[in-house]
Amino acid sequence: MDGTTPPAVLTIAGSDSSGGAGIQADLKAFTAFGCYGTSVITALTAQNTKGVQGVHPTPPEFLEQQLRAVLEDIDIKSIKTGMLYDAENTRRVASTLRAHFEDTARIPPLIVDPVAVSTSGHTLLHPEAVDVMAKELFPLAALITPNKPEAELLLSRKEGSAHARIETLEDMLSASERLLALGPKAVLVKGGHISLTLADVRKVVASRPDLAVVQENFLGENMEILQVSEEVLNARPLVVDVLREAKSVTLFVSPRIESTNTHGTGCTLAAAIASVLSKGEPMPEAVRQATIFTHVGIETAFPVGKGHGPLNHMHMLTRKLVPPPRPSNPHPLTRILIQSSKRTWKEYVEHEFVKQLAQGTLPKECFLHFIKQDYLYLKYYARAYGLLIAKSATYTSIQSATQTIMYIITEVTTHKSFCALWGISEAELSATPESPSTTAYGAYLLDIGLQGDSAKLIMALAACLLGYGEVGLWLKKEAAKPNSWVKLKGNQYLKWIEDYSGENYQAAVKLGIETIETLAVDNAPNARQFHEWCVIWEKCTRLEKGFWDASLNLL
């Protein structure tokens, strides 16, 4: 997504036909984080937002076959497990991982989400599988992510139900410690089922200075201008997730969101953690990013189905408006610009003025009017490049714009010698009154230069540069055809045609196109900017046409 090869991530979980949980949620989360998703399906479910209607477990040997197919071919950077369904499948996942990686230290970061019961109350893990998971899978795990009922279930099977209840933040801290003893490298006890307040958190933190607290969407120092009152803050219900690693404990504190769009929350969180870990980030950073992703997903959920809807996995994504340059289309933005203004562009580059010029039939007065106005216009054009220099962030762009001004000065010299040829002195040239179409175009360039950033100005300057290049190449191509309508021989305007189809000018066009394409890559436009670029390009194309209209309609 950002030009680097996406890391491959694997989910081993159930399939949710309704797309909100299971491998479907995982694949969506992987994609949102720019990872390449693969999946081993442990069981199919017939499911929607109202509940689980049926489960069709995958035979263990076919589960293993899927897992081997992925591991033997693809360089997996992290793994998450979700619903494993029964003891045999759970055991098979552990044994296949151990067999494939031989040394368990070589297993990529493994997040075990100990899914046991669905939100709607459907059993998703057979009771005996709980023990297998704890015994065989937890020791391989970089992290396990139980919620309150799952943590209670795990603890009660280990210690008996007497001490397994989790009601307070202290209970969560204690539970995380006891669960860590089951063998995973880290434990995240999720607080979605336990309502806490800021006072609860402060009380615990006061007596436990070793606790790190991450409260991204909540409190911030020196943010009085954004804050509600202390009373409101203290009363607001919170969600606190407790991350325990071997040597540290981190609390992730977020405001509690009232929502029915919680289908797939656990899957999504674990998949998001796996995604961030696959990029080499440390565990607390992965949990931090994943917690925000999941919370924003719940808060920005859109309606799907009639029951507990899924969260929004796409809230972080936006669509690129210009495809990347590639061998079959190295200039996508230039193409889009030309295509989006197709008709005006054609009216400009195949203008009657150009046609008469190419046939040598253009009245001298028209050409002289044009060349004198162009002389005046090019002063605006050079000044606009001056503005571009003033807007430049790098010496490279300063140099490139300066080079263009030098081209313009050369072009103006040609204009002067043209005029001299036709008996017009430099004094007469300078004294020519500016026509409205010249002022319109020139002043518009400077207006864009004042209004916007360098990207907008580059767009405004492009139609002139590229259009004359297009005219030059078009005439050259037409002239090469047998019995061409273009008359080069004896044409009084030959030098003009040769200049714009010549190497020097075409090199400048090429540079201009590269600059435009670089803009789209380095400075990917959002919808508004893209629209502005297209509008500016189209307007300049029309102003170019108007410029020739004025010269032709003179008579």
Quote the least distance from Cβ 314 to a copy of itself, whole Å. Answer: 5
Figure out which of the listed residues 13, 19, 442, 545 binds a copy of itself, where binding follows CB under 8 A: 19
Figure out which of the listed residues 66, 119, 156, 359 binds a copy of itself, where binding follows CB under 8 A: 66
Active-site pick, 19, 192, 264, 467: 264
Assess 327 for contact with a copy of itself (CB under 8 A): yes
Q: DSSP letter for 308, please.
A: S
Assess 237 for contact with a copy of itself (CB under 8 A): no
Assess 120 for contact with a copy of itself (CB under 8 A): no
Figure out which of the listed residues 102, 206, 207, 222 binds a copy of itself, where binding follows CB under 8 A: 222
Active-site pick, 35, 267, 366, 534: 267
Quote the least distance from Cβ 100 to a copy of itself, whole Å. Answer: 13
Q: Which token pair is 466? A: 């590229």
419 is catalytic: no
Contacts of 317 (CB under 8 A, 6+ apart): 31, 32
Contact range with a copy of itself by CB under 8 A, out of 120-128, 437-445, 483-491, 521-529:
521-529
- The contact pattern for a copy of itself, residues 238-277, with x = CB under 8 A and - = no contact, is ----------------xx-x--------------------
In the chain, the amino acid numbered 462 is: A
- Residues 421-450 close enough to bind a copy of itself by CB under 8 A: 450
- The contact pattern for a copy of itself, residues 162-201, with x = CB under 8 A and - = no contact, is ----------------------------------------
Q: Are residues 251 and 241 in contact, defined by beta-carbon separation less than 8 angstroms? A: yes
In the numeric block, the tokens 């864009």 are attached to 448
Quote the least distance from Cβ 393 to a copy of itself, whole Å. Answer: 8
Contact range with a copy of itself by CB under 8 A, out of 190-198, 215-223, 263-271, 278-286:
215-223
Assess 28 for contact with a copy of itself (CB under 8 A): yes
Figure out which of the listed residues 13, 21, 48, 459 binds a copy of itself, where binding follows CB under 8 A: 48
Q: What is the CA radius of gyration of the chain?
A: 34
Cα 426 to Cα 157: distance, rounded to the nearest angstrom = 98
Q: Which token pair is 470? A: 């297009």
Q: Are residues 373 and 434 in contact, defined by beta-carbon separation less than 8 angstroms? A: yes
Cα 540 to Cα 349: distance, rounded to the nearest angstrom = 13
- The contact pattern for a copy of itself, residues 331-370, with x = CB under 8 A and - = no contact, is x--xx--xx--x--xx--xx--------------------
Assess 295 for contact with a copy of itself (CB under 8 A): yes
In the numeric block, the tokens 């990872």 are attached to 35
264 is catalytic: yes
Q: Are residues 416 and 353 in contact, defined by beta-carbon separation less than 8 angstroms? A: no
Measure CA 231 to chain center: 39
Q: Closer to a copy of itself by CB, 257 or 488: give it.
A: 257
Active-site pick, 49, 96, 145, 262: 262
In the chain, the N- to C-terminal Cα span, in Å, equals 56
H/E element, 384: helix 364-390
SS3 77: strand
How many residues of this chain interact with a copy of itself, rule: CB under 8 A?
116
Assess 101 for contact with a copy of itself (CB under 8 A): no
Assess 469 for contact with a copy of itself (CB under 8 A): yes
Strand order in the sheet with 249-255: 51-57, 36-48, 8-16, 76-81, 110-112, 143-144, 186-189, 238-245, 249-255, 212-214
190 is catalytic: yes
Q: Are residues 248 and 263 in contact, defined by beta-carbon separation less than 8 angstroms? A: no
Figure out which of the listed residues 134, 466, 536, 540 binds a copy of itself, where binding follows CB under 8 A: 466
266 is catalytic: yes
Indicate left, alpha or beta for 102 from its phi (over 0: left) and psi (-120 to 50: alpha): left
Q: Are residues 83 and 125 in contact, defined by beta-carbon separation less than 8 angstroms? A: yes
58 is catalytic: no
Figure out which of the listed residues 15, 118, 275, 515 binds a copy of itself, where binding follows CB under 8 A: 15
In the chain, the amino acid numbered 132 is: V
SS3 188: strand
Quote the least distance from Cβ 367 to a copy of itself, whole Å. Answer: 23
Q: Closer to a copy of itself by CB, 173 or 270: give it.
A: 270
Query: Which residues are catalytically annotated?
Result: 190, 262, 264-267
